[in-house]
Structure 1
Amino acid sequence: MQKWLSSYFNFSKREYNGLLAMVILIVLIRAIPVGYSFFFPEQADPEAERLVINKLILMKSERENAVRQQKLTTPAFQSVLFNFDPNLIDTDDWQRLGLSAKQAGVMARYKKKGGRYFKKEDLQKMYVISPEMYERLIPYISIDLEKEQKLQQPKPEYPAKRYPGQPKFVFIPLNSADTLQLMEVSGVGPAFARRIFNYRQRLGGFYKKEQLLEVYGLDSLKYAEIKDQLSLDDQALIRINLNTALFDDLKNHPYLKYKQVNAIIQFRKQHGNYGNIADLRKVAILSAETIEKLAPYISF
Protein backbone atom coordinates (compact mmCIF):
# COMPACT_ATOMS: atom_id res chain seq x y z
CA MET A 1 0.00 0.00 0.00
CA GLN A 2 2.79 2.37 0.97
CA LYS A 3 4.78 1.52 -2.17
CA TRP A 4 1.74 1.95 -4.43
CA LEU A 5 0.87 5.37 -2.95
CA SER A 6 4.48 6.46 -3.05
CA SER A 7 4.85 5.46 -6.71
CA TYR A 8 1.48 6.79 -7.81
CA PHE A 9 1.37 10.05 -5.83
CA ASN A 10 5.10 10.36 -5.41
CA PHE A 11 4.73 10.34 -1.59
CA SER A 12 7.72 10.05 0.65
CA LYS A 13 7.62 7.71 3.58
CA ARG A 14 7.27 10.63 5.96
CA GLU A 15 4.30 12.04 4.05
CA TYR A 16 2.67 8.65 3.91
CA ASN A 17 2.98 8.19 7.69
CA GLY A 18 1.46 11.65 8.27
CA LEU A 19 -1.49 10.89 5.98
CA LEU A 20 -2.06 7.55 7.68
CA ALA A 21 -2.06 9.16 11.13
CA MET A 22 -4.63 11.75 9.99
CA VAL A 23 -6.95 9.05 8.64
CA ILE A 24 -6.69 7.08 11.88
CA LEU A 25 -7.45 10.22 13.91
CA ILE A 26 -10.55 10.99 11.86
CA VAL A 27 -11.82 7.43 12.27
CA LEU A 28 -11.26 7.59 16.04
CA ILE A 29 -13.04 10.93 16.36
CA ARG A 30 -16.11 9.57 14.60
CA ALA A 31 -16.03 6.24 16.43
CA ILE A 32 -15.64 7.54 20.00
CA PRO A 33 -19.30 8.75 20.47
CA VAL A 34 -20.65 5.51 19.04
CA GLY A 35 -18.44 3.42 21.24
CA TYR A 36 -19.21 5.49 24.34
CA SER A 37 -22.95 5.11 23.89
CA PHE A 38 -22.45 1.37 23.31
CA PHE A 39 -20.39 0.76 26.45
CA PHE A 40 -22.07 3.48 28.60
CA PRO A 41 -25.77 3.61 27.68
CA GLU A 42 -27.66 6.68 29.02
CA GLN A 43 -29.55 5.93 32.22
CA ALA A 44 -33.21 7.04 32.38
CA ASP A 45 -34.03 9.53 35.21
CA PRO A 46 -37.57 8.77 36.53
CA GLU A 47 -37.69 11.97 38.59
CA ALA A 48 -36.80 14.12 35.57
CA GLU A 49 -39.41 12.35 33.46
CA ARG A 50 -42.03 12.90 36.20
CA LEU A 51 -41.22 16.62 36.35
CA VAL A 52 -41.53 16.93 32.58
CA ILE A 53 -44.90 15.14 32.58
CA ASN A 54 -46.20 17.32 35.43
CA LYS A 55 -45.09 20.43 33.58
CA LEU A 56 -46.96 19.34 30.46
CA ILE A 57 -50.10 18.62 32.53
CA LEU A 58 -49.83 22.04 34.20
CA MET A 59 -49.45 23.78 30.84
CA LYS A 60 -52.57 22.00 29.55
CA SER A 61 -54.54 22.95 32.67
CA GLU A 62 -53.48 26.60 32.36
CA ARG A 63 -54.61 26.69 28.72
CA GLU A 64 -58.00 25.20 29.67
CA ASN A 65 -58.42 27.70 32.53
CA ALA A 66 -57.53 30.57 30.21
CA VAL A 67 -60.19 29.42 27.73
CA ARG A 68 -62.74 29.03 30.54
CA GLN A 69 -61.95 32.47 31.95
CA GLN A 70 -62.26 34.01 28.53
CA LYS A 71 -65.75 32.53 28.20
CA LEU A 72 -66.74 33.99 31.59
CA THR A 73 -65.46 37.46 30.79
CA THR A 74 -66.69 37.60 27.21
CA PRO A 75 -70.02 39.45 26.93
CA ALA A 76 -72.89 37.24 25.79
CA PHE A 77 -74.50 40.22 24.06
CA GLN A 78 -73.14 42.44 21.38
CA SER A 79 -71.96 45.62 23.09
CA VAL A 80 -74.34 48.55 22.50
CA LEU A 81 -74.10 51.91 24.28
CA PHE A 82 -77.34 53.65 25.27
CA ASN A 83 -78.55 56.14 27.87
CA PHE A 84 -79.25 54.39 31.18
CA ASP A 85 -79.79 54.83 34.90
CA PRO A 86 -77.57 52.31 36.78
CA ASN A 87 -80.17 52.13 39.57
CA LEU A 88 -82.90 50.91 37.22
CA ILE A 89 -81.35 48.58 34.62
CA ASP A 90 -81.20 44.80 34.94
CA THR A 91 -78.65 42.06 34.20
CA ASP A 92 -79.40 41.87 30.46
CA ASP A 93 -78.95 45.63 30.12
CA TRP A 94 -75.52 45.48 31.78
CA GLN A 95 -74.49 42.74 29.35
CA ARG A 96 -75.66 44.84 26.39
CA LEU A 97 -73.45 47.64 27.68
CA GLY A 98 -70.44 45.33 27.42
CA LEU A 99 -70.22 43.40 30.72
CA SER A 100 -69.90 39.64 30.86
CA ALA A 101 -72.60 37.48 32.46
CA LYS A 102 -70.47 37.12 35.60
CA GLN A 103 -69.84 40.87 35.85
CA ALA A 104 -73.51 41.67 35.24
CA GLY A 105 -74.39 39.24 38.04
CA VAL A 106 -72.18 41.22 40.45
CA MET A 107 -74.01 44.43 39.53
CA ALA A 108 -77.40 42.73 40.01
CA ARG A 109 -76.45 41.38 43.45
CA TYR A 110 -75.25 44.82 44.54
CA LYS A 111 -78.64 46.27 43.56
CA LYS A 112 -80.57 43.44 45.25
CA LYS A 113 -78.74 44.10 48.53
CA GLY A 114 -79.85 47.73 48.46
CA GLY A 115 -76.82 49.25 46.76
CA ARG A 116 -77.49 52.59 45.04
CA TYR A 117 -75.62 55.06 42.87
CA PHE A 118 -76.19 58.69 43.85
CA LYS A 119 -73.80 60.18 41.31
CA LYS A 120 -71.95 58.97 38.22
CA GLU A 121 -68.65 58.62 40.09
CA ASP A 122 -70.18 55.95 42.36
CA LEU A 123 -69.96 53.51 39.48
CA GLN A 124 -66.16 53.55 39.82
CA LYS A 125 -66.48 51.82 43.20
CA MET A 126 -67.59 48.60 41.48
CA TYR A 127 -64.52 46.44 40.85
CA VAL A 128 -66.08 44.87 37.75
CA ILE A 129 -66.19 48.29 36.08
CA SER A 130 -62.69 48.92 34.74
CA PRO A 131 -61.43 52.50 34.24
CA GLU A 132 -61.70 51.97 30.47
CA MET A 133 -65.29 50.74 30.77
CA TYR A 134 -66.20 53.67 33.05
CA GLU A 135 -64.83 56.18 30.52
CA ARG A 136 -66.96 54.55 27.81
CA LEU A 137 -70.13 54.56 29.90
CA ILE A 138 -69.96 57.95 31.63
CA PRO A 139 -71.45 59.99 28.73
CA TYR A 140 -74.53 57.71 28.79
CA ILE A 141 -75.18 57.66 32.56
CA SER A 142 -78.23 59.55 33.80
CA ILE A 143 -79.25 59.18 37.46
CA ASP A 144 -82.77 60.30 38.40
CA LEU A 145 -83.19 59.74 42.13
CA GLU A 146 -86.70 61.21 42.20
CA LYS A 147 -87.91 58.74 39.59
CA GLU A 148 -86.31 55.87 41.48
CA GLN A 149 -87.97 56.91 44.74
CA LYS A 150 -91.37 57.02 43.03
CA LEU A 151 -90.86 53.52 41.69
CA GLN A 152 -89.86 52.24 45.12
CA GLN A 153 -92.74 53.85 47.00
CA PRO A 154 -95.22 51.19 48.16
CA LYS A 155 -98.55 51.29 46.46
CA PRO A 156 -101.44 52.44 48.67
CA GLU A 157 -103.11 49.59 50.46
CA TYR A 158 -106.84 49.21 49.97
CA PRO A 159 -109.00 46.91 52.05
CA ALA A 160 -109.89 43.76 50.24
CA LYS A 161 -113.40 43.63 48.86
CA ARG A 162 -115.74 41.25 50.58
CA TYR A 163 -118.54 39.40 48.89
CA PRO A 164 -121.72 37.97 50.44
CA GLY A 165 -120.98 34.69 52.13
CA GLN A 166 -117.23 35.27 52.07
CA PRO A 167 -115.60 34.56 55.47
CA LYS A 168 -114.13 37.54 57.31
CA PHE A 169 -110.40 37.99 56.75
CA VAL A 170 -108.45 37.37 59.96
CA PHE A 171 -105.35 39.45 60.72
CA ILE A 172 -102.54 37.96 62.76
CA PRO A 173 -101.00 40.35 65.35
CA LEU A 174 -97.35 40.52 64.39
CA ASN A 175 -95.94 41.53 67.77
CA SER A 176 -97.88 39.15 70.00
CA ALA A 177 -98.50 36.05 67.86
CA ASP A 178 -96.71 32.83 68.73
CA THR A 179 -95.28 30.49 66.12
CA LEU A 180 -98.55 28.53 65.77
CA GLN A 181 -100.50 31.72 65.08
CA LEU A 182 -97.88 32.91 62.59
CA MET A 183 -98.27 29.63 60.71
CA GLU A 184 -101.91 30.57 60.06
CA VAL A 185 -100.62 33.23 57.65
CA SER A 186 -100.79 31.91 54.11
CA GLY A 187 -97.22 31.54 52.88
CA VAL A 188 -95.65 31.15 56.34
CA GLY A 189 -94.52 27.65 57.24
CA PRO A 190 -92.81 26.35 60.39
CA ALA A 191 -89.36 27.63 59.34
CA PHE A 192 -90.48 31.19 58.60
CA ALA A 193 -92.68 31.26 61.70
CA ARG A 194 -89.68 30.39 63.91
CA ARG A 195 -87.45 32.93 62.14
CA ILE A 196 -90.01 35.75 62.49
CA PHE A 197 -90.62 34.90 66.15
CA ASN A 198 -86.91 34.66 67.03
CA TYR A 199 -86.04 37.86 65.18
CA ARG A 200 -88.89 39.68 66.96
CA GLN A 201 -87.48 38.53 70.31
CA ARG A 202 -84.01 39.85 69.48
CA LEU A 203 -85.42 43.06 68.03
CA GLY A 204 -87.86 43.93 70.78
CA GLY A 205 -90.86 43.99 68.45
CA PHE A 206 -91.65 45.36 65.01
CA TYR A 207 -92.56 49.04 64.66
CA LYS A 208 -93.20 48.71 60.91
CA LYS A 209 -94.00 45.74 58.69
CA GLU A 210 -91.06 46.45 56.38
CA GLN A 211 -88.73 45.14 59.10
CA LEU A 212 -89.86 41.65 58.09
CA LEU A 213 -87.50 42.02 55.12
CA GLU A 214 -84.65 41.78 57.65
CA VAL A 215 -85.69 38.23 58.57
CA TYR A 216 -83.31 35.69 57.05
CA GLY A 217 -84.63 34.31 53.75
CA LEU A 218 -87.70 36.55 53.63
CA ASP A 219 -87.43 38.44 50.34
CA SER A 220 -89.66 41.08 48.76
CA LEU A 221 -91.87 38.46 47.06
CA LYS A 222 -92.59 36.66 50.32
CA TYR A 223 -93.16 40.00 52.07
CA ALA A 224 -95.72 41.04 49.45
CA GLU A 225 -97.48 37.71 49.94
CA ILE A 226 -97.87 37.93 53.72
CA LYS A 227 -97.89 41.62 54.71
CA ASP A 228 -101.64 42.12 54.21
CA GLN A 229 -102.37 39.21 56.55
CA LEU A 230 -100.48 40.77 59.46
CA SER A 231 -101.37 43.66 61.73
CA LEU A 232 -99.16 45.86 63.92
CA ASP A 233 -100.80 45.52 67.32
CA ASP A 234 -100.54 48.09 70.09
CA GLN A 235 -98.13 46.05 72.15
CA ALA A 236 -95.28 48.36 73.24
CA LEU A 237 -91.81 47.75 71.92
CA ILE A 238 -89.23 46.48 74.38
CA ARG A 239 -86.87 49.38 75.08
CA ILE A 240 -83.37 49.26 76.55
CA ASN A 241 -82.23 52.00 78.92
CA LEU A 242 -78.78 53.02 77.70
CA ASN A 243 -77.83 54.47 81.08
CA THR A 244 -78.27 51.18 82.93
CA ALA A 245 -77.75 48.60 80.18
CA LEU A 246 -74.89 46.13 80.46
CA PHE A 247 -72.97 44.59 77.58
CA ASP A 248 -75.13 41.44 77.65
CA ASP A 249 -78.30 43.55 77.38
CA LEU A 250 -77.17 45.00 74.05
CA LYS A 251 -75.00 42.34 72.42
CA ASN A 252 -77.88 40.37 70.84
CA HIS A 253 -79.69 43.31 69.29
CA PRO A 254 -79.62 42.85 65.47
CA TYR A 255 -78.88 46.54 64.85
CA LEU A 256 -75.69 46.58 66.94
CA LYS A 257 -72.30 44.93 66.46
CA TYR A 258 -69.82 43.93 69.16
CA LYS A 259 -67.59 47.00 68.72
CA GLN A 260 -70.59 49.34 68.71
CA VAL A 261 -71.95 47.90 71.97
CA ASN A 262 -68.54 48.29 73.57
CA ALA A 263 -68.26 51.87 72.30
CA ILE A 264 -71.70 52.81 73.75
CA ILE A 265 -70.76 51.52 77.20
CA GLN A 266 -67.25 53.02 77.19
CA PHE A 267 -68.61 56.43 76.12
CA ARG A 268 -71.07 56.34 79.04
CA LYS A 269 -68.28 55.50 81.47
CA GLN A 270 -66.11 58.36 80.20
CA HIS A 271 -68.75 61.07 79.70
CA GLY A 272 -71.59 60.14 82.02
CA ASN A 273 -75.20 59.19 81.29
CA TYR A 274 -76.89 59.82 77.97
CA GLY A 275 -79.48 62.58 78.04
CA ASN A 276 -81.07 62.17 74.60
CA ILE A 277 -80.55 60.80 71.11
CA ALA A 278 -78.17 63.67 70.29
CA ASP A 279 -75.68 62.33 72.86
CA LEU A 280 -75.70 58.99 71.06
CA ARG A 281 -74.56 60.72 67.89
CA LYS A 282 -71.32 61.63 69.68
CA VAL A 283 -70.29 57.95 69.61
CA ALA A 284 -68.13 58.04 66.49
CA ILE A 285 -68.56 54.39 65.58
CA LEU A 286 -72.36 54.73 65.26
CA SER A 287 -73.63 55.86 61.86
CA ALA A 288 -76.69 58.07 61.48
CA GLU A 289 -78.50 55.14 59.82
CA THR A 290 -77.79 52.84 62.78
CA ILE A 291 -78.99 55.44 65.31
CA GLU A 292 -82.20 56.02 63.32
CA LYS A 293 -82.99 52.30 63.24
CA LEU A 294 -82.11 51.90 66.92
CA ALA A 295 -84.06 54.91 68.21
CA PRO A 296 -87.44 53.13 68.78
CA TYR A 297 -85.71 50.54 70.99
CA ILE A 298 -83.77 52.73 73.43
CA SER A 299 -84.59 55.00 76.36
CA PHE A 300 -82.58 57.28 78.63
Structure 2
Amino acid sequence: MFKQFKEYFSFTKKELNGLLVLCILMVIVWVSPSVVSLSGTEKVYDPSEFKKEIAAFRASEKKHVKRNYYREPDKARGYKENKGSPVYFKFNPNNLAVSDWVRLGISEKQARVIKNYEAKGGKFRRKEDLKKMYSIRPEDYSRLAPYIDIPEEQKNAKVYVKKEYPSRRPVIVEVNSADSAMLETVRGIGPVLASRIIRYRERLGGFYRKEQLKEVYGIDSLRYPAIAEQLNTDAGSIRKININTAGFDELRNHPYLTYKQKNAIIQYRKQHGAFTGIGDLRKIAILNTEILRKIAPYLIF
Protein backbone atom coordinates (compact mmCIF):
# COMPACT_ATOMS: atom_id res chain seq x y z
CA MET A 1 0.00 0.00 0.00
CA PHE A 2 2.84 2.42 0.87
CA LYS A 3 4.44 1.60 -2.44
CA GLN A 4 1.27 2.51 -4.30
CA PHE A 5 0.96 5.75 -2.31
CA LYS A 6 4.56 6.67 -3.11
CA GLU A 7 4.09 5.97 -6.84
CA TYR A 8 0.97 8.16 -6.94
CA PHE A 9 2.53 11.22 -5.22
CA SER A 10 6.10 10.97 -6.47
CA PHE A 11 7.41 13.51 -9.10
CA THR A 12 10.18 13.36 -11.62
CA LYS A 13 12.97 15.90 -11.61
CA LYS A 14 11.48 17.63 -14.66
CA GLU A 15 8.07 17.91 -12.97
CA LEU A 16 9.64 19.37 -9.79
CA ASN A 17 11.43 22.05 -11.83
CA GLY A 18 8.15 22.96 -13.48
CA LEU A 19 6.38 23.30 -10.12
CA LEU A 20 9.14 25.52 -8.86
CA VAL A 21 8.91 27.88 -11.83
CA LEU A 22 5.10 28.01 -11.44
CA CYS A 23 5.40 28.96 -7.75
CA ILE A 24 7.88 31.74 -8.57
CA LEU A 25 5.52 33.19 -11.21
CA MET A 26 2.58 33.11 -8.79
CA VAL A 27 4.59 35.02 -6.19
CA ILE A 28 5.60 37.67 -8.80
CA VAL A 29 2.00 38.16 -9.91
CA TRP A 30 0.81 38.42 -6.32
CA VAL A 31 3.31 41.10 -5.22
CA SER A 32 3.49 43.16 -8.49
CA PRO A 33 0.40 45.39 -7.75
CA SER A 34 1.85 46.41 -4.41
CA VAL A 35 5.23 47.21 -5.93
CA VAL A 36 3.63 49.34 -8.70
CA SER A 37 1.48 51.30 -6.23
CA LEU A 38 4.52 52.06 -4.05
CA SER A 39 6.82 53.05 -6.90
CA GLY A 40 4.45 55.30 -8.94
CA THR A 41 2.36 58.41 -8.32
CA GLU A 42 -1.21 58.87 -9.56
CA LYS A 43 -1.48 61.27 -12.51
CA VAL A 44 -3.71 64.29 -11.92
CA TYR A 45 -5.40 65.89 -14.97
CA ASP A 46 -5.74 69.66 -15.10
CA PRO A 47 -9.04 70.75 -16.83
CA SER A 48 -7.95 74.36 -17.14
CA GLU A 49 -6.65 73.88 -20.71
CA PHE A 50 -9.93 72.35 -21.81
CA LYS A 51 -11.88 75.23 -20.22
CA LYS A 52 -9.73 77.75 -22.10
CA GLU A 53 -10.57 76.05 -25.44
CA ILE A 54 -14.31 76.18 -24.63
CA ALA A 55 -14.08 79.88 -23.78
CA ALA A 56 -12.23 80.63 -27.05
CA PHE A 57 -14.87 78.75 -29.09
CA ARG A 58 -17.73 80.71 -27.48
CA ALA A 59 -15.94 84.00 -28.08
CA SER A 60 -15.51 83.22 -31.80
CA GLU A 61 -19.21 82.29 -32.06
CA LYS A 62 -20.24 85.74 -30.81
CA LYS A 63 -18.10 87.40 -33.50
CA HIS A 64 -19.95 85.53 -36.27
CA VAL A 65 -21.71 87.97 -38.64
CA LYS A 66 -24.91 86.83 -40.40
CA ARG A 67 -24.77 87.18 -44.15
CA ASN A 68 -27.52 87.15 -46.78
CA TYR A 69 -27.53 84.08 -48.96
CA TYR A 70 -25.75 84.83 -52.20
CA ARG A 71 -24.32 82.56 -54.83
CA GLU A 72 -21.60 83.76 -57.16
CA PRO A 73 -22.23 83.38 -60.89
CA ASP A 74 -22.02 79.80 -62.06
CA LYS A 75 -19.54 79.76 -64.93
CA ALA A 76 -21.05 76.60 -66.36
CA ARG A 77 -24.66 77.88 -66.36
CA GLY A 78 -24.07 81.63 -66.62
CA TYR A 79 -26.37 82.87 -63.89
CA LYS A 80 -26.40 83.49 -60.13
CA GLU A 81 -28.89 82.62 -57.46
CA ASN A 82 -29.89 85.25 -54.92
CA LYS A 83 -32.58 84.68 -52.35
CA GLY A 84 -32.14 88.05 -50.71
CA SER A 85 -34.89 90.04 -52.49
CA PRO A 86 -37.06 88.72 -55.38
CA VAL A 87 -37.54 90.87 -58.47
CA TYR A 88 -41.13 90.70 -59.75
CA PHE A 89 -42.15 91.06 -63.40
CA LYS A 90 -44.83 89.71 -65.75
CA PHE A 91 -43.77 86.25 -66.91
CA ASN A 92 -44.97 83.23 -68.85
CA PRO A 93 -44.07 80.08 -66.88
CA ASN A 94 -43.73 78.08 -70.12
CA ASN A 95 -40.06 77.84 -71.17
CA LEU A 96 -38.97 80.45 -68.62
CA ALA A 97 -35.21 80.40 -68.10
CA VAL A 98 -33.82 79.13 -64.80
CA SER A 99 -32.11 82.47 -64.21
CA ASP A 100 -35.50 84.24 -64.46
CA TRP A 101 -37.05 81.83 -61.97
CA VAL A 102 -34.18 82.64 -59.59
CA ARG A 103 -34.84 86.39 -60.02
CA LEU A 104 -38.44 85.73 -58.97
CA GLY A 105 -37.21 84.18 -55.70
CA ILE A 106 -37.47 80.53 -56.75
CA SER A 107 -34.44 78.41 -55.88
CA GLU A 108 -32.37 76.74 -58.58
CA LYS A 109 -33.48 73.33 -57.31
CA GLN A 110 -37.17 74.29 -57.58
CA ALA A 111 -36.60 75.68 -61.08
CA ARG A 112 -34.90 72.47 -62.19
CA VAL A 113 -38.02 70.49 -61.23
CA ILE A 114 -40.12 72.78 -63.44
CA LYS A 115 -37.69 72.42 -66.35
CA ASN A 116 -37.78 68.62 -66.02
CA TYR A 117 -41.59 68.78 -66.16
CA GLU A 118 -41.39 70.80 -69.39
CA ALA A 119 -38.79 68.45 -70.88
CA LYS A 120 -41.29 65.59 -70.54
CA GLY A 121 -43.94 67.53 -72.47
CA GLY A 122 -45.60 69.38 -69.60
CA LYS A 123 -47.33 72.70 -70.31
CA PHE A 124 -48.88 75.43 -68.16
CA ARG A 125 -52.23 76.39 -69.74
CA ARG A 126 -53.62 78.18 -66.68
CA LYS A 127 -51.86 79.97 -63.89
CA GLU A 128 -53.35 77.42 -61.44
CA ASP A 129 -51.29 74.71 -63.18
CA LEU A 130 -48.17 76.13 -61.54
CA LYS A 131 -49.71 75.44 -58.14
CA LYS A 132 -49.78 71.71 -58.98
CA MET A 133 -45.98 71.54 -59.11
CA TYR A 134 -44.79 69.88 -55.92
CA SER A 135 -41.66 72.06 -55.88
CA ILE A 136 -43.76 75.27 -55.69
CA ARG A 137 -44.85 75.98 -52.13
CA PRO A 138 -48.24 77.64 -51.49
CA GLU A 139 -46.58 80.84 -50.34
CA ASP A 140 -44.47 80.93 -53.55
CA TYR A 141 -47.58 80.59 -55.72
CA SER A 142 -49.46 83.27 -53.75
CA ARG A 143 -46.80 85.90 -54.39
CA LEU A 144 -46.18 84.90 -58.04
CA ALA A 145 -49.82 84.44 -59.16
CA PRO A 146 -50.49 88.18 -59.89
CA TYR A 147 -47.52 88.25 -62.28
CA ILE A 148 -48.28 85.10 -64.31
CA ASP A 149 -49.18 85.98 -67.89
CA ILE A 150 -49.97 83.06 -70.24
CA PRO A 151 -50.80 83.98 -73.88
CA GLU A 152 -54.29 83.10 -75.13
CA GLU A 153 -52.99 80.71 -77.81
CA GLN A 154 -51.33 78.60 -75.11
CA LYS A 155 -54.43 78.68 -72.91
CA ASN A 156 -56.58 77.39 -75.76
CA ALA A 157 -54.09 74.82 -76.99
CA LYS A 158 -55.92 71.76 -78.24
CA VAL A 159 -55.69 68.73 -76.02
CA TYR A 160 -55.74 65.54 -78.02
CA VAL A 161 -57.97 62.87 -76.56
CA LYS A 162 -57.90 59.33 -77.84
CA LYS A 163 -61.11 58.68 -79.74
CA GLU A 164 -63.05 55.64 -78.65
CA TYR A 165 -64.57 53.73 -81.52
CA PRO A 166 -67.60 51.51 -80.92
CA SER A 167 -66.71 47.85 -80.82
CA ARG A 168 -67.83 45.68 -83.68
CA ARG A 169 -70.84 43.48 -83.18
CA PRO A 170 -69.57 40.01 -82.28
CA VAL A 171 -70.07 37.15 -84.73
CA ILE A 172 -72.19 34.32 -83.32
CA VAL A 173 -70.60 30.91 -83.90
CA GLU A 174 -72.46 27.58 -83.56
CA VAL A 175 -70.03 25.56 -81.51
CA ASN A 176 -71.17 22.05 -82.56
CA SER A 177 -70.61 22.60 -86.28
CA ALA A 178 -67.71 25.10 -86.24
CA ASP A 179 -64.26 24.04 -87.34
CA SER A 180 -61.04 25.32 -85.77
CA ALA A 181 -60.77 28.36 -88.06
CA MET A 182 -64.34 29.44 -87.28
CA LEU A 183 -63.79 29.10 -83.53
CA GLU A 184 -60.66 31.27 -83.75
CA THR A 185 -62.80 34.18 -85.00
CA VAL A 186 -64.30 34.37 -81.51
CA ARG A 187 -62.53 36.94 -79.34
CA GLY A 188 -60.86 35.06 -76.50
CA ILE A 189 -60.35 31.77 -78.39
CA GLY A 190 -56.95 31.06 -79.92
CA PRO A 191 -55.64 28.05 -81.89
CA VAL A 192 -54.83 25.98 -78.79
CA LEU A 193 -58.20 26.56 -77.11
CA ALA A 194 -60.08 25.93 -80.38
CA SER A 195 -58.32 22.57 -80.70
CA ARG A 196 -59.26 21.61 -77.13
CA ILE A 197 -62.92 22.51 -77.70
CA ILE A 198 -63.10 20.30 -80.82
CA ARG A 199 -61.41 17.32 -79.12
CA TYR A 200 -63.74 17.52 -76.13
CA ARG A 201 -66.77 17.95 -78.44
CA GLU A 202 -65.87 14.72 -80.27
CA ARG A 203 -65.58 12.77 -77.01
CA LEU A 204 -68.81 14.22 -75.70
CA GLY A 205 -70.89 13.93 -78.87
CA GLY A 206 -71.56 17.66 -79.00
CA PHE A 207 -72.64 20.38 -76.54
CA TYR A 208 -76.36 20.51 -75.68
CA ARG A 209 -75.87 23.75 -73.71
CA LYS A 210 -73.14 26.45 -73.68
CA GLU A 211 -72.31 25.99 -69.99
CA GLN A 212 -70.62 22.69 -70.86
CA LEU A 213 -67.76 24.71 -72.34
CA LYS A 214 -66.58 25.34 -68.76
CA GLU A 215 -65.56 21.67 -68.71
CA VAL A 216 -62.93 22.36 -71.39
CA TYR A 217 -59.45 22.88 -69.95
CA GLY A 218 -58.54 26.57 -70.23
CA ILE A 219 -62.08 27.97 -70.02
CA ASP A 220 -62.54 29.16 -66.45
CA SER A 221 -65.16 31.36 -64.79
CA LEU A 222 -63.33 34.49 -66.02
CA ARG A 223 -62.89 33.50 -69.67
CA TYR A 224 -66.34 31.91 -70.14
CA PRO A 225 -68.44 35.15 -69.88
CA ALA A 226 -66.21 36.80 -72.50
CA ILE A 227 -66.80 34.09 -75.13
CA ALA A 228 -70.31 32.87 -74.20
CA GLU A 229 -72.10 35.79 -75.90
CA GLN A 230 -70.32 34.94 -79.17
CA LEU A 231 -71.38 31.26 -79.19
CA ASN A 232 -74.55 29.24 -79.39
CA THR A 233 -75.31 25.51 -79.46
CA ASP A 234 -77.65 23.41 -81.59
CA ALA A 235 -78.76 20.62 -79.25
CA GLY A 236 -80.40 18.79 -82.16
CA SER A 237 -77.00 18.06 -83.69
CA ILE A 238 -75.48 16.13 -80.76
CA ARG A 239 -74.50 12.49 -81.34
CA LYS A 240 -76.57 10.08 -79.20
CA ILE A 241 -75.84 6.58 -77.94
CA ASN A 242 -78.30 3.67 -78.08
CA ILE A 243 -77.85 2.39 -74.53
CA ASN A 244 -79.41 -1.01 -75.39
CA THR A 245 -77.03 -1.83 -78.24
CA ALA A 246 -73.85 0.12 -77.39
CA GLY A 247 -70.78 -1.93 -76.55
CA PHE A 248 -67.96 -0.99 -74.22
CA ASP A 249 -65.94 0.56 -77.07
CA GLU A 250 -68.76 2.95 -77.93
CA LEU A 251 -69.14 4.01 -74.31
CA ARG A 252 -65.41 4.14 -73.61
CA ASN A 253 -64.63 7.70 -74.74
CA HIS A 254 -67.58 9.45 -73.12
CA PRO A 255 -66.16 11.81 -70.44
CA TYR A 256 -69.17 11.62 -68.10
CA LEU A 257 -68.83 7.89 -67.31
CA THR A 258 -66.00 6.13 -65.50
CA TYR A 259 -64.69 2.68 -66.47
CA LYS A 260 -66.63 1.02 -63.62
CA GLN A 261 -69.87 2.83 -64.52
CA LYS A 262 -69.65 1.80 -68.18
CA ASN A 263 -68.96 -1.79 -67.24
CA ALA A 264 -71.86 -1.78 -64.72
CA ILE A 265 -74.29 -0.60 -67.41
CA ILE A 266 -73.31 -3.43 -69.77
CA GLN A 267 -73.44 -6.11 -67.04
CA TYR A 268 -76.82 -4.92 -65.75
CA ARG A 269 -78.22 -5.00 -69.30
CA LYS A 270 -76.99 -8.58 -69.76
CA GLN A 271 -78.63 -9.72 -66.51
CA HIS A 272 -81.91 -7.76 -66.66
CA GLY A 273 -82.49 -7.11 -70.36
CA ALA A 274 -82.96 -3.88 -72.29
CA PHE A 275 -83.45 -0.52 -70.60
CA THR A 276 -86.83 1.10 -71.17
CA GLY A 277 -85.95 4.54 -69.85
CA ILE A 278 -83.68 6.58 -67.63
CA GLY A 279 -85.48 5.16 -64.60
CA ASP A 280 -83.95 1.73 -65.21
CA LEU A 281 -80.47 3.23 -65.02
CA ARG A 282 -81.26 4.57 -61.53
CA LYS A 283 -81.33 0.96 -60.36
CA ILE A 284 -77.56 0.76 -60.91
CA ALA A 285 -76.04 1.73 -57.56
CA ILE A 286 -72.93 3.54 -58.84
CA LEU A 287 -74.95 5.87 -61.12
CA ASN A 288 -76.06 8.83 -59.00
CA THR A 289 -78.62 11.49 -59.91
CA GLU A 290 -75.98 14.00 -61.07
CA ILE A 291 -74.39 11.55 -63.52
CA LEU A 292 -77.79 10.56 -64.93
CA ARG A 293 -78.78 14.23 -65.37
CA LYS A 294 -75.63 14.95 -67.35
CA ILE A 295 -75.72 11.84 -69.56
CA ALA A 296 -79.48 11.66 -70.23
CA PRO A 297 -79.41 14.03 -73.30
CA TYR A 298 -76.94 11.66 -75.00
CA LEU A 299 -78.97 8.43 -74.59
CA ILE A 300 -81.70 6.81 -76.62
CA PHE A 301 -83.55 3.66 -75.54
* TM-score, normalization by structure 2: 0.46
Question: Higher helix proportion, which one?
Answer: 1
TM-score (structure 1 length as normaliser)? 0.46
